[in-house]
Amino acid sequence: MPYHKNKQQAFEAAQQGTMEAKERYDHLVKSDADYGSQLHHLKQEVNEAFEQINNALEVASEKQRKQLEQFRDDLQAIVEEVNMYE
């Protein structure tokens, strides 16, 4: 049973990390004086979320795997969007 619990915890950590990165991205304001600082924190969160996704993929069920791949795609879209403005 611990295996199942770890699988669920890994998935939830990846989900949470993705949601936090998306939220930070949604609140990113290019005209803010601290935009550079905001961008730095966003990149950190995105990198952490990618790491959590990769960890979760190692133990994920098939259903979770599809959702994790969607999280990864969502984060990749944020990365591409941010890189266009740098």
Question: pTM for this structure?
Answer: 0.89
**Is the model's pLDDT at 4 over the cut of 90?**
no
Number of domains in the chain: 1
B/e letters for 58-68, b = 16+ CB within 10 Å, e = fewer, are ebbeeebeebb
Render pLDDT for 18-36 as a digit per residue (tens, 0 to 9): 999 999 999 988 888 999 9
Write the pLDDT tens digit of every residue in 23-75: 999 998 888 899 999 999 999 999 999 999 999 999 999 999 999 999 999 99
Containing structural domain, residue 42: 2-82
Instruction: Give Cα 63 distance to the centre of its chain.
Output: 18
Residue 15 φ then ψ, to 5°: -65, -45
pLDDT at 3: 54
pLDDT of the residue at 30: 81
